[in-house]
Every structure is written in C-alpha cells, then in structure tokens.
C-alpha cells in the first residue's frame, strides 16, 4: 500500500530541492528524518515537513506503524513561476524568475 503526501507551491526551485530528495530515497523513515534534520538547507526543512505529513497519513488513515515504512519515492516537480522585472541600465529591464516546486513523497511498508 502506498501512502503519499504532496506539498504544492513550495517557494524554492526544484533544482535545489532535488539535491536533498536524492539522499533520502530508499531509506527507512527514521533514517530519512535523521538525514533531513542534519542537512542545513531550506529544502531539507520543507521535505521534512512533507515526510512527517506522509507518516501521519500512514498512522491515522491506514493504521500503519512508522517503523515499518520506507521512502519509496521522493520526487520534486516544477511549480508555477512568478515572472518579475528588475530595472537595468539605459531604460531596459531584466527578467527575474521566482520559481516554485511541488514535493511528492511516497511511502511503502517493508516487505
């Protein structure tokens, strides 16, 4: 049984977030939480929040125990981009892209 949790519209680029999600794929939930708490990045805080939500979904909705869960998949996709402009020299303007991302975590039980 797959348990999922999705964080939509995280204000961080998907490129920065993917570096952290690669580290936790395939780990048990307790090991993944340890990795995330010891990673000094904004992405780690957002992914940790999503992982805790997935654990709560497993415990409350499916009556599973947290120590029997593994992170099957941790995927980060592109979210909407806010487009802004910065004034530049001689009356021109340069684009600013404020990127966001969608974080999806899927947990499964150990076999």
User: Could you list the residue range(s) of the whole structural domain that residue 78 is in?
Assistant: 3-109
Q: In angstroms, what CA-CA distances link 27 with 24, 46, 54, 79, 104?
A: 6, 18, 14, 26, 16
Taking residues 44-55, report their average pLDDT: 96
Report pLDDT digits (tens) over 3-43.
999 999 999 999 999 999 999 999 999 999 999 999 999 99
- Total domain count for the chain? 1
User: Is this prediction's pTM over 0.85?
Assistant: yes
Query: How high is the pLDDT of residue 66?
Result: 92
Query: How high is the pLDDT of residue 83?
Result: 97
Q: Any residues with CB less than 8 A from the CB of 25 and at least 6 apart, and which? A: 71, 72, 73, 74
Compute how many other C-beta atoms are within 10 angstroms of the C-beta atom of residue 91.
6
Q: In angstroms, what CA-CA distances link 37 with 24, 43, 84, 95, 98?
A: 12, 11, 33, 35, 26
**Whether the predicted pLDDT of 111 surpasses 90:** no
Q: What angle do CA 6, 7, 11 make, to 5 degrees?
A: 155
Backbone conformation region of residue 27, classed left if phi is above 0, alpha if psi is from -120 to 50, else beta? beta
- Return the CATH number at 93: 3.90.470.10
Report pLDDT digits (tens) over 101-110.
999 999 999 8
């Amino acid at each position: 049984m797959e348990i999922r949790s999705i964080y939509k519209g995280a204000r961080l680029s998907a490129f920065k977030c993917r570096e952290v999600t690669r580290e936790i794929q395939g780990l048990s939930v307790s090991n993944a939480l340890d990795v995330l708490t010891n990673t000094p990045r904004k992405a780690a805080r957002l992914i940790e929040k999503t992982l805790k939500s997935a654990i709560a979904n497993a415990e409350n909705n499916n009556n599973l125990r947290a120590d029997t869960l593994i992170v099957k998949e941790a995927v980060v996709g592109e979210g909407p981009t806010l487009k802004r402009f910065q004034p530049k020299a001689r009356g021109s303007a340069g684009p600013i892209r404020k990127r966001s991302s969608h974080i999806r975590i899927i947990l499964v039980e150990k076999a």
